[in-house]
Amino acid sequence: MAAGLVDQAVNDILEKILDGVFQPLSSIPKESELADSIGVSRLTLREAVKVLRDRGVLEVVHGKGTFIADPDKWNDMSTLLEFRSRRSSPKEFGLKLLEIRCLLEAGAAELAALNHTSEDLTIMAEKLDAYDQAVSEGNILRATKEDIEFHNAVFAASKNSLIKVILQPLEKAMTHNRIMTTKDLETREKARMFHRKIRDAIASGNPVLAKNTMLAHMEQTHDSLEKL
């Protein structure tokens, strides 16, 4: 069986769920009907259902059918992110993402203060300069990229590679929100100020100062998102 056909069936079913054609806690159509509607064989459909069941999206109840699980039970980050983004306003979704950033980035800054090298500090300084250059040129997309790269440099300085891996599935969604906030002049200036304070706090080797400075930056980002 071609893996591409299974992936197609998985994506087609997900689109119907994400678009609200199939609602959480409701049953999906019978196997033959659903297979015909998305243009795959019943065998391919069964494989697709298995994939979505493993992600926690579908629940098979013997004798009753296949149901869409409560999204709170889904275990695939990318699928859940896409669902929440389509069912929430940009501001509401952005604030939820920020809560996750706050938890991880404050800890990363704390670890970076303890574990950074001189090379880490140099990279942070380079990203700060690149951000300033992008802003001076009015290049919002590049400024957003350099903003993200600065935070990635903090993660690298923490010497815990798991932090970046955990945040990886969130990157696309967080980039969209950062573009929106970077467009605002006041937000850009505050972000620039906090980035330099974060770099200096990490350089000081004081983990409490680094953590609190990052938290203050997250609070500033929260205020910016609230204005959207």
Summarised one tens digit per residue, pLDDT across range 162-184 is: 988 888 878 877 887 788 788 88
Find the distance separating the first CA and the last CA of the chain, reported in whole Å. 47
Please write the tens of the pLDDT for every residue from 122-165: 999 999 999 999 999 999 999 999 999 999 999 999 999 998 88
CATH, residue 219: 1.20.120.530
90: tokens are 């940009």
- Tens of pLDDT along 73-110? 999 888 888 898 888 888 888 888 889 989 999 999 99
Which of 223, 215, 205, 199 is closest to 115 using CA atoms?
205
151 domain residue, yes or no = yes
User: The CATH number of the domain where 38 resides is what?
Assistant: 1.10.10.10
Residue 52 sits in the same domain as residue 94: no
Is residue 213 within 8 Å of 201, Cβ to Cβ?
yes
108-122: buried (b, 16+ CB within 10 Å) or exposed (e) per residue?
bbbbbbebbeeebbe
- What is the value of pTM for the model shown? 0.80
Cα–Cα distance between 169 and 166 in angstroms, integer? 7
Q: Is the pLDDT of residue 219 over 70?
A: yes
Q: 208 and 129, same structural domain?
A: yes
Do 64 and 125 sit in the same domain of this protein?
A: no
Cβ-in-10-Å burial (0-12, 13-18, 19+) of 199 comes to: buried
CA-to-CA dists, residue 57 to 66, 88, 187, angstroms: 10, 19, 38
